[in-house]
Amino acid sequence: MRNFINWHDVAALPLRGYRLRGRLGLSEDQAVKRRWADTAISVLWTDLPAVRERCNALMTGDPQTEHYDYIANKFLKPLEPLTGLSLGCGNGDREFRWFQSCQFARLDGVDLSEPQITSARLRSEREGLAERLMFQVSDVSRMVWPVNHYDVVFGEHSLHHFRQVDRLFAGIAQSLREGGYFIVNEYVGPARFQWTDQQLAAVSGALALLPDSYRCRQSDGSLKKSAWRPSVLRMYLSDPSEAVESNRIREALYRHFDVIELRNYGGTLLHVLLSDIAANFTSDDSETKSILALLFQIEDLLMSLGMESDFMLAICRKRSE
């Protein structure tokens, strides 16, 4: 198997390890549950306000308009009050945001992580939404799909954690009512984060342009000097579900749905480059703004030259029977 293990793993093992003692003896499902029980907060590339505005512009055409409002106003309003389902909802942040943009008769959020679901339920109760916004622990791979039940199903940054995407999408299509929508906001790049040679070269080159203060890793304080592919073993030990079939999502959508709109919003450079160093870019000073603007230009150029976008927003509709 290509890149099953590499020297970066060996070098990192004494410093960080892979929590092997806790991982050994666990089933794959148990390992995934343990991984997502961790609620520690780190700064992600999409947490940066400038990046969010860039993604908004690429998804909706307006830096200040989020995809929630764009999709609600253009597609979902005629179906209100909605009956919806959100897959891999985590702590419910996105579901609460959808509630601000749409009127729901009921929205169910499902996730494998009990701590995340507990957090979401408590918030739903505090905000007086518990009768319409409901969360439950559920394994999506074992769901029994209803027939013609939902107006909308959401898959946001969760689908790349699921195996057998064709089987999953067939179930989602079955569960949608006539004219219902499947909203996808996802990582669709290389499976198991096996970045392309072109990506790695571009990210390493861009890193070389940055001052050292922007390359200091959040995790251990070391300097990020280049990019490499994590080994398949490292990915499996860290989270067996991570990007397991991400490279199959885009084509599978076209097999099972009518794709009404598809908006690529990059991440091909920024996701990899800003991983573990995004916290260095939270300042609003002119230097940080200029550096981010340069990185945006580099990613735009790469995509204009044919490099595929690793993230996309897709509005999909159930096919007429």
DSSP classification of residue 285: S
Residue 38: the pLDDT is: 52
The tens-digit pLDDT sequence of the chain (321 residues) is: 577 777 676 665 544 444 554 555 555 565 555 554 554 558 999 999 999 999 999 999 999 999 999 999 999 999 999 999 999 999 999 999 999 999 999 999 999 999 999 999 999 999 999 999 999 999 999 999 999 999 999 999 999 999 999 999 999 999 999 999 999 999 999 999 999 999 999 999 999 999 999 999 998 899 999 999 998 888 888 889 999 999 999 999 999 999 999 999 999 999 999 999 999 999 999 999 999 999 999 999 999 999 999 999 999 999 987
User: Residue 18: which of 39, 35, 30 has the closest Cα?
Assistant: 35
Domain span including residue 215: 7-317
Sheet of 311-317, strands arranged across: 133-137, 104-111, 82-87, 150-156, 176-187, 311-317, 258-264
Compute CA distances 161 → 13, 141, 172, 232, whole Å. 25, 10, 16, 15
Overall pTM > 0.85: yes
DSSP code for 47? G
Number of alpha helices (DSSP H) and beta strands (DSSP E) in the chain:
13, 7
Amino acid 36: pLDDT: 46
The pLDDT score that the predictor gives to residue 18 is 46
The C-alpha atoms of residue 163 and residue 159 are separated, in whole angstroms, by 9
* pLDDT on residue 239: 87
CATH code, domain with 274: 3.40.50.150
Nearest to 170 by CA among 182, 160, 161: 182
Contact (CB, 8 A) for 297 and 266: no
φ, ψ at 279 (rounded to 5°): -60, -20
Residue 199: the pLDDT is: 97
User: How many domains is the chain partitioned into structurally?
Assistant: 1
Structural domain includes residue 1 = no
Neighbours of 18 (CB within 10 A): 15
Whether residue 58 lies inside any domain: the answer is yes
The pLDDT value given to residue 204: 97
Q: How many angstroms separate the CA atoms of 152 and 154, rounded?
A: 7
In a domain, 2, yes or no: no
The vertex-26 CA angle with 21 and 31, nearest 5°, equals 95
By three-state DSSP, how is residue 293 classified? helix
